[in-house]
Amino acid sequence: MKKAFLLFLILTGWFAGCRNPLENVELTFRKPLTTSVQLDFRTQGGRVAENVSVKIKGRDADQIVTLLNTTNFRISKDGSLPLATLVAPSPEKPLYFTIVATAENALETVVPIALIGSGVRRQTVVLTEKESNEAKKLVATTTGQSAGDGAVNGPLVIRTPPTEAGTSVISIPAGTRVVDAQNQPVDGPLTATVQVIPTSLVWQLPNGGSLSRTKKITVVASAFQAEIYNEEYRLVKSFSQPVGVTFGLNAGARNPATGLPVRAGDVLPLYSYDGATNQWKEEAPGKVVLDKENRPVIETRISHFSTWVVGYVTELCPNDGVRFSFQSQLPNDYDYSYRVEAFYVDGDKAESAGSSYYRLQNGFTFSLQHQLFKDRKVKLKVYDRNSSLVVESPVVGSCDNVTVPLDVRAFRPAAGEAPVKASVQFPCKNIQLDKLPDQVTTYYRESGSAHWEPFLTFNKSQLVNGVMSQTTYRVKKNRKYDFSVSVLSYDFEQPNTLIDQNEWVIKIKTKEFCQ
Amino acid sequence: MKNISGITGLWLAFVLLTVGPAANGRAVAGPGYDGPGRDGSGRDSLTVQPRFGLNASAGLPGFGLQLAYRLPTRPQLAVRAGFTYFARRRPFRLSVGDDSRLSVDPDLVISMAQASLKWHPFPKSSFFASLGGGYAWHPGLGAMLQAEDKLNLGGIEMTPDNVGVIRTSLVWSRLRGYAGLGFGRSVPRRRFGFGAELGVYYQGAPRVDLQYEGFLETTTLKEQVPTIEHNLRGYRWLPVLQFVFTYAIRPH
């Protein structure tokens, strides 16, 4: 009995002497790091690429983190992945790394990035489905091997699949040393891929083919993107000696200088794009010759790997260009966007110059600065989303410094569209703001559908008496929706929510954020 | 008579085990502690006291086996060396709400070698005090938590991918000091004995090792680890309550 009592005393003393481990522990949301790279993962069709895994490789991979200072790289529902750097890049100390994106049914995609200064680098990473027509018709892969000094063991021939631009061939002779952007040998087993950029899809060129603010590639006779990388995903940038390249040319390509079909003897401009630095460069032009089958090709030598284009440049408007201003009766909180399309007009002919989506509240103005070709006539068409109504602007000079008014007062919300007030409600009026994330992004989809759409973004500066509110027309009463709240890339979902009133409230039950 | 035949030894053991303490007292004429004969010389006029004992223990913090040695020159002292082991690694589920469970993979292992000096201060009592130390091969207790399916937190759901994986453990010093009190002899006078021991290991304040992927990444939990460690600084003592079954290894 005495022993048991002694035991009781000792154990009681032990536990009584200990504290609750979570006493005085205060959890808040972390302050995200500043975005240095904004990646956007898309499919060839422009949709959000799903179930993508991302690795960061390369020399400075250990300096690249998420905004939460982790290496758990997660892509949000809208396909974006912001990255931060642990050290500030500068021209003296640039950061080199490689994005490696994989998905179950997609080809592995390797994108080099070089950061040489402050500012946000935006990069779209396009994943090609393995079984898609693009993969079969446009992508070719081969393998090779290089020694410790980067010398390839045998000739490495990379051949594009045959397309309307024929076949392009890169021939790297045996013994050529392959090195990365830091001039370090790329050794070991090599994977070489080449992807044709169809000549008809100029917009698929990096940065849309914009060489500068005033020059843009608008006609392509041949284009491909070639990459060689080793098992550590170190990308070949250059060679110890120039290597031979044959550019197959689009049979229908015309020489703008002559206005005639391309023929032997023509000299065509060549451009390269460095994916790492996100820069286009004008290269020495190439002379057209006929190959053994009498097809026009350009045979030249290149000293570095990039996206290579045989094409022609058109000058863009150097100044602000034309602006469009809208008169509208749409409610200020009407959060649907309208399709707006610009056209080049030549007599009776109209050729699309591109389109975009805008919310068209009264007084909204936008400019097509550095997007329109010089010395052309343009007009704008605006399409009503709730009817077949199309509003068309007068024709104006593409570079005219004018504001063109457009009257879309006939555009109205559709029948049944009504404002729904969406609120995030805390259980108290006074909130500890430093405990909240600066911004919360939400997504929505009608219950049963597969794809999420961006919805509302709440900022903590909107908090009034413990409530953040916004109005939306995008959800309709008496329908069920799935909602997702994304906090620093992590998601909470509220599925199958019936909107049965003109107000939808997300109630935060915890008093953790109350003062 | 320092040496004794095996048959005589077996007979004596039989007598000790079957006749009981009274006969035991008479037969070996031993004092209350592990050691000496009546003359305090460490020798007995009838038999040779065993010097080694094997101790099997169970209790907090696990199961153990020790070899004990009674010092010939100071029979009130004995040294012990052995190990203690306990493991609990079977996963279990933790309910955290409506149809929501976390899968918990515990890593509760105590694996420790220890040595101690045991002192019987009273000749007629088996009471003892003990001092020693231990070395832990597995100095921490931990667990891994992850969601099996979507977590439903009052209508708000989190996918396992967003919940992530949480690995946490408390890690103490590998080297530990020990002090204890108890009853019973490590080298029993009879062939078998029984004892109990109450003690405590000093293992230093624990260090919190916290690794996670998932939603917790958005919080300042990592920065709060020093506060948690401060709160846990009282957990530097590991209580010991052992019930010991002892066996005397008799010379042939």
Of A10, A24, A492, the CB nearest to B227: A24
Task: With respect to residue B227, please indicate whether it lies within any of the assigned structural domains.
Answer: yes
Q: A411: helix, coil or strand?
A: coil
Mean pLDDT of the region B42-50: 56
**How close A15 comes to chain B (CA, Å)?**
8
Mean pLDDT of the region A222-249: 93
The label of the residue with tokens 């005393």 reads A9
Lowest mean pLDDT among A505-514, B96-105, B135-144: A505-514
Q: Give yes or no for residue A320 having a pLDDT over 50.
A: yes
Write down the pLDDT at residue A9: 52
Q: Pick from B218, B228, B235, B237 the residue to mutate for testing the A interface (most A CBs within 10 Å).
A: B218
- How many CA atoms, within 13 angstroms, populate the side-chain half-sphere of residue A492? 15
CA pair distance A121, A475, nearest whole angstrom: 34
Question: Looking at beta carbons, which residues of chain A come within 8 Å of B206?
Answer: none
B119 Cβ contact partners less than 8 Å away, ≥ 6 residues apart: B76, B77, B128, B129, B130, B131
CA pair distance B217, A70, nearest whole angstrom: 8
Q: At residue A138, what are phi and psi to the nearest 5 degrees?
A: -115, -15
> Over the Cα atoms of chain B, what is R_g?
25
CA pair distance B70, B35, nearest whole angstrom: 7
- The listed CATH number (2.60.40, 3.40.1350, 2.40.50, 1.10.10) that belongs to domain A420-507: 2.60.40
Question: Which of B154, B155, B149, B159 lies closest to A497 in space, CA to CA?
Answer: B155
A405 Cβ contact partners less than 8 Å away, ≥ 6 residues apart: A324, A325, A326, A327
- How many CA atoms, within 13 angstroms, populate the side-chain half-sphere of residue B100? 17
Q: Which two tokens stand for residue B227?
A: 């506060």
Q: Would you put residue B148 in left (φ > 0), alpha (ψ -120 to 50) or beta?
A: alpha
**B129 CB burial (10 A radius; 0-12, 13-18, 19+):** middle
Indicate yes or no: CB of A494 within 8 angstroms of CB of B154. no
Write down the pLDDT at residue A187: 95
Q: Give yes or no for residue B243 having a pLDDT over 60.
A: yes
Question: Which of A422, A454, A462 lies closest to A438 in space, CA to CA?
Answer: A462
Q: Which two tokens stand for residue B246?
A: 């002892």
Contact B69, B52 (CB under 8 A): yes
Q: How big is the CA angle at B7 (ends B4 and B9), to the nearest 5 degrees? A: 50
The label of the residue with tokens 């709400």 reads B97
Q: Would you put residue B170 in left (φ > 0), alpha (ψ -120 to 50) or beta?
A: beta
Mean pLDDT of the region B164-187: 94
Domain A37-127: assigned CATH number:
2.60.40
Of A17, A24, A30, the CB nearest to B234: A17
Indicate yes or no: CB of A491 within 8 angstroms of CB of B162. yes
B56 Cβ contact partners less than 8 Å away, ≥ 6 residues apart: B63, B64, B65, B244, B245, B246, B247
Indicate yes or no: CB of B235 within 8 angstroms of CB of A26. no
Task: With respect to residue B1, please indicate whether it lies within any of the assigned structural domains.
Answer: no
Q: Would you put residue A218 in left (φ > 0), alpha (ψ -120 to 50) or beta?
A: alpha
Residue type, A99: I
Quickly state the pLDDT bin for A14 (edges 50, 70, 90): low
Contact B66, B115 (CB under 8 A): no
Question: Looking at beta carbons, which residues of chain A come within 8 Å of B237?
Answer: 14
- Chain B residue closest to A26 (CA)? B224
CA pair distance A92, B62, nearest whole angstrom: 60
Indicate yes or no: CB of B220 within 8 angstroms of CB of A70. no
Q: A180: helix, coil or strand?
A: coil
CATH topology of domain A133-315: Chondroitinase Ac; Chain A, domain 3 (2.60.220)
> Given 3-state DSSP classes, what are the helix, strand and coil percentages for chain B, each rounded to the nearest 5?
15, 50, 30
Of A30, A488, A493, the CB nearest to B157: A493
Q: Give yes or no for residue A46 having a pLDDT over 90.
A: no
Interface of B with A in 195-224 (CB under 8 A): 196, 198, 200, 213-215, 217-221, 224
Indicate yes or no: CB of B231 within 8 angstroms of CB of A20. yes
Lowest mean pLDDT among A194-208, A315-329, A401-415, B214-228: A194-208
Number of domains chain B is built from? 1
User: To 10 degrees, the CA torsion angle through A305, A311, A313, A314?
Assistant: -140
Q: What is the pLDDT of residues A85-132, one digit of tens each?
A: 999 999 999 999 999 999 988 889 999 999 988 889 999 998 988 887
Report CA A485 to chain centroid distance, whole Å.
Answer: 22
The reply to whether B99 touches chain A by the CB within 8 Å rule is no
Q: Which two tokens stand for residue A263?
A: 């023929």
**Containing domain of residue B104, as a range?**
6-249
The reply to whether B231 touches chain A by the CB within 8 Å rule is yes
Q: What is the pLDDT of residues A48-85, one digit of tens each?
A: 898 899 999 999 999 999 999 999 999 988 899 999 99
Q: What angle, 0 to 180 degrees and rounded to 10, lies between the N-to-C axes of helices B6-19 and B21-28?
A: 140
Q: What is the maximum span of chain B, computed from C-alpha positions, in angstroms?
A: 84
Question: Looking at beta carbons, which residues of chain B come within 8 Å of A24?
Answer: 227, 231
Q: Write down the pTM of the prediction.
A: 0.77
Quickly state the pLDDT bin for A10 (edges 50, 70, 90): low
Write down the pLDDT at residue B250: 81
- Chain B residue closest to A16 (CA)? B234
CA pair distance B42, B65, nearest whole angstrom: 26
Task: With respect to residue B108, please indicate whether it lies within any of the assigned structural domains.
Answer: yes
Q: What is the pLDDT of residues A134-193, one digit of tens each?
A: 777 888 999 999 999 999 999 999 999 888 878 899 999 999 999 998 899 999 999 999
CATH code where residue B177 lies: 2.40.160.170
Q: Which two tokens stand for residue A292?
A: 């053994």
Quickly state the pLDDT bin for A261 (edges 50, 70, 90): confident
Q: Give yes or no for residue B224 having a pLDDT over 80.
A: yes
Mean pLDDT of the region B74-95: 93
CA pair distance A158, A185, nearest whole angstrom: 19
CB atoms within 10 A of CB A400: 17
Q: How big is the CA angle at A343 (ends A341 and A346), to the nearest 5 degrees? A: 165
A513 Cβ contact partners less than 8 Å away, ≥ 6 residues apart: A426, A428, A431, A432, A435, A436
Quickly state the pLDDT bin for A18 (edges 50, 70, 90): low
The reply to whether B227 touches chain A by the CB within 8 Å rule is yes
A422 has which bridge partners? A470, A504
Q: Pick from B99, B151, B231 the residue to mutate for testing the A interface (most A CBs within 10 Å).
A: B231
CA pair distance A427, A422, nearest whole angstrom: 16
Work out the mean pLDDT of chain A and round it to a whole number: 89
Q: What is the pLDDT of residues A388-398, one digit of tens each?
A: 999 999 999 99
